Amino acid sequence: MNYITTREIHVEDVTDSEVQQVADLMSACAAEVDPKDPPFTTGFARGELHGGTAVRTMRRLFATAGDEIVGLGELELHHDDANKHILGVYLQVHPTHRRQGAGTMLLEHALKIGIEEDRSSVLAWGVRSEVSAAFWDTFALPEKQVERMSRLRLADVDQDLMTEWRTTSTARPAGYTLHSWLGACPDELLTKYVEAYRAMYDAPFDELDLSMPEITEESIRVTETNHADRGMTERVVLALDPDGAPAAVTEIALLSTRPWHAWQQGTSTIAAHRGQGLGRWIKAEMVMQLLEEHPEVAVIETGNASTNASMLNINNAMGFEVHEEETARQASLVDVLAAVEAHRSSRG
């Protein structure tokens, strides 16, 4: 029997064989949600091991049994003042290696890093299931938010409805205009893009002690560069009012390493421009652009807090269906560490 150990890794040091194991592990976990999904590629897996950006640091852990990777840990450390107390933790353990201590060891290693980084709160997230609930409940991490992950299959899109949304918004005859781009935001639209995106500050965090990181021109450029390095390309639709001021925005991430699957990023409407059907207009515009220009995309996936009624109403009307739920749990690092130590003591 091989004993399980954990270690921190850096993407530049990970071998091709290890990347394949990471892809296989991620695929095995994803198959529990939907076994029909294609497996993750090694290109996607290597991209997921990135070390973060100037805005946030990502640290990575492997749990291994001999030469086999049996668990993964992803730690998120934001640099902004509002979130510098938080240690973000996302853990995955291969389904055939659960209940052998890998998850506990990954969590314990993560907490040590949290202490080194002077973090006081643990925010853990992942698939919401009986297995994950039992694990996090053991370590005194109560659920603070539920996120609904939904998918829209483009082959099933009601194109007549999307055409209606594109043409019936009261903002259109009022003189609002849409501006789209693929890749980095044009310099002349960057300030307006940032202002529209900042309407995301209104997104609900429910009981989480978490703030939306500050959105700036610099943070947008940093994210664009990071995404490009990982084979991701943004597709954006920005709405401007009759005076050329920003009103609303929606963004999709396209992945060269997973071309069938598009990730919905933010969608937001500035408060003063709400109530005119802008959200439906820009979302319909995005879907029709994908159908016309990206035939390789089969699915759009999005995540919304279960309390975000306005966004859920739009997505439901578009035809999005629930794919899974994710849980976000949070507690003080001291309390989680004490629970880990108590758990170890109880097991001898």
> How many residues does this entry show for the chain?
348
CB 239 within 8 A of CB 249: yes
CB 265 within 8 A of CB 251: yes
For every one of its 348 residues, what pLDDT tens digit does the chain have, with 9 covering 90 and above?
468 999 999 999 999 999 999 999 999 999 999 999 999 999 999 999 999 988 899 999 999 999 999 999 999 999 999 999 999 999 999 999 999 999 999 999 999 999 999 999 999 999 999 999 999 999 999 999 999 999 999 999 999 999 999 999 999 999 999 999 999 999 999 999 999 999 998 888 999 999 998 999 999 999 999 999 999 999 999 999 999 999 999 999 999 999 999 999 999 999 999 999 999 999 999 999 999 999 999 999 999 999 999 899 999 999 999 999 999 999 999 999 999 999 988 876
Closest by CA to 159, choosing from 290, 249, 279, 262, is 290
In this prediction, residue 116 carries a pLDDT of: 98
Instruction: List C-alpha distances in Å: 62 to 100, 236, 286.
Output: 15, 35, 38
In this prediction, residue 54 carries a pLDDT of: 82
Domain boundaries, the chain: 4-119, 150-325
Sign of the CA dihedral running 332, 219, 43, 287: positive
Fold type of domain 4-119: Aminopeptidase (3.40.630)
Class of the CATH domain delimited by 150-325: alpha beta
- Indicate the SS3 state at residue 210: coil
What's this model's pTM, rounded to 2 decimal places?
A: 0.93
In this prediction, residue 345 carries a pLDDT of: 86
From the number of C-beta atoms within 10 Å of its C-beta (0-12, 13-18, 19+), residue 211 rates as middle
CB 295 within 8 A of CB 154: no
pLDDT in tens, 139-185: 999 999 999 999 999 999 999 999 999 999 999 999 999 999 999 99
